[in-house]
Amino acid sequence: MSDEENNIQSVFDNAVAEYGENDKNSVLMALINEGGLDVTTAIREYNRLARESGLTMTKEQKEAKIAEILGEQSFDTRDDLEAAKNELMDALDVAPTTAMNYIKSYAEDKDIELPIAQRKAMASKTEVVAFIIEHQNEKKAELSKGLQEEFGYAKGTADTVISHLAYMQEYAKQVENVYEDQT
C-alpha cells in the first residue's frame, strides 16, 4: 500500500471512529478536507473502503440480501407490498422508490404480479377540473389522496396538481383585485 493509500485509509478510519459508521457525509468531508481528494475521488474511495471494511455491501451481497428478504414475502395485498418495501428500506438503508424498484425487478424476474393500482388512461383536463370542483372543500391532503385514487396519480403528481391549484387560486384573487381597482 502506498503512502497516499495509507493516508486515505487512515483518514477514513479516523472519520468513521469520530463520526460513526452511518455518517457518510462527514466521512466524505474528511476524505475531501483532510485527505485532499476531489469530490468524485472521495466518493469512489469511500465506496471502496466502506465495502472493504464491511460498512456497506458489495453488489453481490446486496442482491443476495434482496433475494433473501423478498423470498420470504407475500405479495398478495398492498399491505404485503408495503411491508416488503419497509423491510428493504430498513435492511438496506434505501429510499422508498429504490426499495420499490428492487421489488418490481424481483417480481418481474420471478413472474410475480404485484398488487399495484394500474394507472387509468390519461385523465382529461375536464375530468380533473370536475373532480377538483366537486371536492373543493376538502383539505389538501384529502384532495391529493382522491386524485391518486380516482386517476391513479402518483403522490408527487397529485401534490403538484394541488400546489398548482393553490397558485392559480392566488393568481385569480390578485387578478380579481386588479379588475376591481380599475372599476
For the stretch 4-51, pLDDT in tens is 888 999 999 999 999 988 788 999 999 999 999 999 999 999 989 988
**Domains in the chain: boundaries:** 3-53, 59-110, 125-182
Give the span between the Cα atoms of 102 and 98, in whole angstroms.
Answer: 6
Long-range contacts of 63-66 (CB under 8 A, 24+ apart): 65/91, 65/92, 66/92, 66/102, 66/106
In the predicted structure, residue 66 carries a pLDDT above the cut 70: yes
pTM as predicted: 0.49
Q: How confident is the model at residue 179 (pLDDT cuts 50, 70, 90)?
A: low
pLDDT value, residue 117: 56
Residue 120 has pLDDT above 60, yes or no: no
Per-residue pLDDT, averaged over 163-176, amounts to 84
**With the CA atoms of 33, 34, 36 and 39 taken in that order, what torsion angle do they form, in degrees rounded to the nearest 10?**
-40
**65-74, 99-108, 115-124, 152-161 — which is least confidently predicted?**
115-124
